Amino acid sequence: MFSVLNPETNEMVAMKKVADAFDNYVIIALRDVVPPPLREEFSNVYIATELMDTDLRQVIMSDLSLSEEHCQILRGLKYIHSANIIHGDLKPSNLLLKANCDLKICNFGPPRPSFENGFIKERGFSRWYTAPELLLNSSEYTAAADVWSVGCIYMELMNRKPLFPGTSRVDQLRLLTKLLGTPTELDLRLVPNEDVRKCIRRLFEYPRQELSNMFPHVPPLAIDLMDKMLVFDPTRRITVGEALAHPYLAGFHDIADEPVCPRPFSFDFEDSMGEERMKDMIYQEALSLNPGHA
């Protein structure tokens, strides 16, 4: 708040800057969509976003101290989930940071998982943060998958190394069960293939390890939150809203600073809209951002 002179009335008035509503959202900001020279040559989409300084992966690998990234990730995810969107590819390299530690979420995964040879297609190091229901081709693809990813990221923040650095899908499942124990029948009820369910129980027979014993340096409240996020059954996993209200985040949680999307997205149009129509719409959007483009 500051005082300025109104030139029209010659009166001193109080001026307050009202931030753009989107400044509160922990999501990378779109600056431009670059239109192709001609609509007929439209085969790729190039977008420009705000420039950040680094990502969480680089910070974890360094000796830099960490601040409130825990709450910032969940705050952004709360907005994303309220918009009826699943990020689908949360990992440290997709969490960008400014020098002042402001965090932005980027690189959203596809709205639906893609399959390859009957299994959900994996994307590089994303496997380390992929929820077990997706590794097992469960029919359950929900926002709970993002919560699992955040749990893995939180543990990596506190340990400075990945929690489940699997070298393959099978190795990933081995690491999960070695720490969390063999999943029960109830845990696996959403896995459609009975042979897969039997195979998991046969190959990965491990007792559950107490996180507090495995990671004695991690605060008890943080362990309690991780126990609620890293749950095999997605229907019993804590939600983002519940995680934000957890006592571990009490010092950062402020519901007034956790906006939600006023109107959730609907993706029903994807089933009826052809590729060329979608290209037309993206092209027109790019032109609206670049009115001088011929």
DSSP for the chain? -EEEEETTTTEEEEE-PPPPGGGGS-BPPEEEEEPPSSGGG----EEEE---SEEHHHHHHSS----SHHHHHHHHHHHHHHTT-------GGGEEE-TT--EEE-----SS--EETTEEPP-GGGGGG--HHHHTT-S--STHHHHHHHHHHHHHHHHSS-S---SSHHHHHHHHHHHH-PPPTTTTTT---HHHHHHHHHH---PPPPHHHH-TTS-HHHHHHHHHHS-SSGGGSPPHHHHHTSGGGTTT--GGG----SS----THHHH--HHHHHHHHHHHHHHH-TT--
Catalytic residues: 89
> Buried b / exposed e across 204-241, counting CB within 10 Å, b at 16+?
beeeeeebeeebeebeeebbebbebbbbbbbeebbbbe
Give the number of residues written for the chain.
294
CA-based diameter of the chain, in Å? Answer: 82
The span from the CA of 90 to the CA of 210, in Å, is 25
Handedness of CA 165, 170, 174, 177 (dihedral sign): positive
